[in-house]
């Protein structure tokens, strides 16, 4: 190990990709395998630079593609390394086979998805379609709103992933273009404090590749001809339990972070201006900034509108969301991706499913915007607020609204 240089806590101006690389450096990751893909590429460059400059004492593996990225990291994780990668869009698609296996192996990998819309139509711009397409696979998913939240969440992700009650891989999602390349003020915490927060590495207490103590990881299970279906069911149930446990762990870890570093990020959902709100918008990711501005402006005009931001998307904070929206007359959900076959956004689908916990049926509408890098401005959210206000008045649910259709 070469000497590792670490800065004291300081303020920098950086974009989300650099913030993620700083977080990886502060988390003392042992092994990084990454393959560049727009809009994630500069993140790879920052990591390579940090390693070359001696800021991060990690191995970086040059791989021939994303399938190898995750295969390499699975091996590293099984051997006890803290690991990191980042990808998006077509790269994430190429990674899908080992991506599926990672949560079942209960490997606490952390991976940034610098979200990008999926092909086709051809596009290299941001959108949540890639991350939303892998939402049911068993990775924890958290969506960031700001550059600072990218840095803080990436560090917290290790503590969440490696928690013994969780032991699942975590995706930290930040919006391609808007967070990946948008520079902002960012506070870098001090190395010693981050190390204290994360504690000792305990990555592979459950499986360990060790020639002195041989074991086979992932032997054959299942019904026909195997040891019976109950083995498979047991592990699947265990995986689901880890997912549900993470709701509590994510909350605790965010509270701990807030106490230590003074930055309190909402762990599951954030209620903004929801006191006495008659109707509300639900948002996810970086669009939330513009949406909050629109809420502030509407409140100043006397409109009783609030906002709920979803940070943790998998596991879905169903009860928290239902609780936050329990008293509104209507709500609108703004998605940056689509759910094919439902003609609405995936967050909308999850939100209305969650409302089974609400005491009554609340009319809701789906809005889709910001696809392929399209800007979601305050003006768009003012339109959303107007439509949801109408809905609160007449209760007549309309078809999905495409916000950038005429832009």
Partner 1 sequence: MKQQAYKMFDATTIPGDLCPIATKPTPMLPGDWRSMRPVVDRAKCVKCAVCWLYCPVQCVVEKAAWFDFNLKTCKGCGICATECPQRAIEMIAEAA
Enumerate binding residues for partner 1 (CB under 8 A).
Answer: 104-106, 167, 205-208, 210-219, 221, 231, 234-235, 237-238, 241
Whichever of 97 and 210 has its CB closer to partner 1, that residue is: 210
Whichever of 164 and 361 has its CB closer to partner 1, that residue is: 164
Whichever of 47 and 105 has its CB closer to partner 1, that residue is: 105
Task: Provide, rounded to whole angstroms, the least separation between the CB of residue 71 and partner 1.
Answer: 17
Task: Provide, rounded to whole angstroms, the least separation between the CB of residue 316 and partner 1.
Answer: 21
Q: In what order do the strands lie in the sheet with 279-284?
A: 269-272, 305-310, 279-284, 330-335, 364-368, 401-402
Whichever of 235 and 402 has its CB closer to partner 1, that residue is: 235
Burial class (CB in 10 A: 0-12, 13-18, 19+), 248: middle
The pair of structure tokens assigned to 156 is 């917290």
Distances, alpha carbon 306 to alpha carbons 135, 286, 325, 373, in Å: 27, 17, 10, 25
Task: Provide, rounded to whole angstroms, the least separation between the CB of residue 158 and partner 1.
Answer: 19
Task: Provide, rounded to whole angstroms, the least separation between the CB of residue 104 and partner 1.
Answer: 8
Task: Provide, rounded to whole angstroms, the least separation between the CB of residue 217 and partner 1.
Answer: 5
Whichever of 207 and 344 has its CB closer to partner 1, that residue is: 207
Whichever of 183 and 217 has its CB closer to partner 1, that residue is: 217
Burial class (CB in 10 A: 0-12, 13-18, 19+), 82: buried
Task: Provide, rounded to whole angstroms, the least separation between the CB of residue 163 and partner 1.
Answer: 13
Distances, alpha carbon 399 to alpha carbons 344, 372, 387, in Å: 8, 22, 11
Question: To the nearest 10°, the Cα dihedral for 111, 245, 166, 68?
Answer: -40
Distances, alpha carbon 72 to alpha carbons 59, 67, 76, 321, 343, in Å: 12, 9, 6, 37, 38
State the sign of the Cα–Cα–Cα–Cα dihedral 85, 77, 28, 51.
Answer: negative
Task: Provide, rounded to whole angstroms, the least separation between the CB of residue 109 and partner 1.
Answer: 14
Whichever of 201 and 329 has its CB closer to partner 1, that residue is: 201
Burial class (CB in 10 A: 0-12, 13-18, 19+), 106: buried
Taking alpha carbons only, the member of 291, 251, 299 closest to residue 275 is: 299
């Amino acid at each position: 190990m070469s000497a590792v240089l670490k800065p004291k806590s300081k303020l920098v101006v950086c974009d989300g990709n650099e913030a993620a690389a700083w977080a990886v450096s502060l988390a003392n990751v042992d092994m990084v395998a990454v393959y560049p893909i727009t809009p994630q590429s500069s993140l790879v460059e920052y990591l390579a630079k940090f390693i070359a400059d001696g800021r991060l004492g990690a191995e970086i593996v040059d791989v021939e593609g994303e399938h190898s990225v995750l295969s390499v990291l699975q091996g590293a994780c099984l051997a006890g390394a803290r690991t990191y990668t980042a990808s998006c869009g077509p790269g994430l698609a190429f990674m899908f086979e080992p991506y599926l296996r990672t949560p079942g192996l209960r490997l606490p990998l952390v991976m940034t998805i610098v979200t990008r819309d999926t092909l086709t139509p051809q596009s290299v711009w941001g959108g949540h379609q890639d991350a939303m397409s892998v939402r049911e696979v068993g990775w924890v998913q958290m969506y960031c709103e700001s550059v600072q939240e990218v840095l803080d969440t990436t560090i917290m992700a290790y503590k969440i992933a490696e928690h013994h009650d969780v032991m699942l891989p975590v995706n930290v999602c930040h919006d391609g273009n808007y967070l990946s390349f948008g520079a902002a003020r960012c506070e870098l915490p001090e190395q010693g404090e981050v190390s204290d927060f994360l504690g000792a590495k305990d990555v592979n207490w459950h499986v360990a590749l060790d020639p002195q103590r041989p074991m086979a990881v992932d032997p054959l299970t299942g019904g026909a001809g195997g040891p019976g279906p109950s083995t498979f069911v047991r592990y699947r149930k265990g995986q689901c339990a880890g997912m549900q446990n993470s709701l509590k762990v994510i909350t605790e870890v965010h509270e701990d972070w807030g106490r230590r570093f003074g930055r309190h990020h909402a762990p599951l959902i954030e209620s903004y201006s929801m006191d006495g709100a008659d109707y509300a918008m639900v948002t996810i990711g970086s669009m939330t900034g513009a949406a909050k501005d629109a809420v502030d402006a509407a409140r100043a005009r006397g409109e009783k509108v609030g906002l709920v931001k979803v940070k943790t998307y998998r596991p879905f904070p169903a009860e928290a969301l239902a609780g936050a929206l329990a008293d509104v007359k209507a709500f609108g959900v703004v998605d940056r991706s689509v759910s094919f076959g439902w003609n609405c956004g995936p967050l909308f689908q999850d939100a209305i499913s969650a409302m089974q916990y609400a005491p009554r049926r609340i009319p809701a509408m789906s809005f889709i915007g910001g696809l392929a890098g399209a800007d979601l401005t305050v003006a768009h959210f003012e339109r959303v607020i107007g439509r949801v206000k109408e809905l609160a008045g007449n209760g007549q649910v309309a078809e999905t609204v495409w916000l950038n259709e005429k832009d």
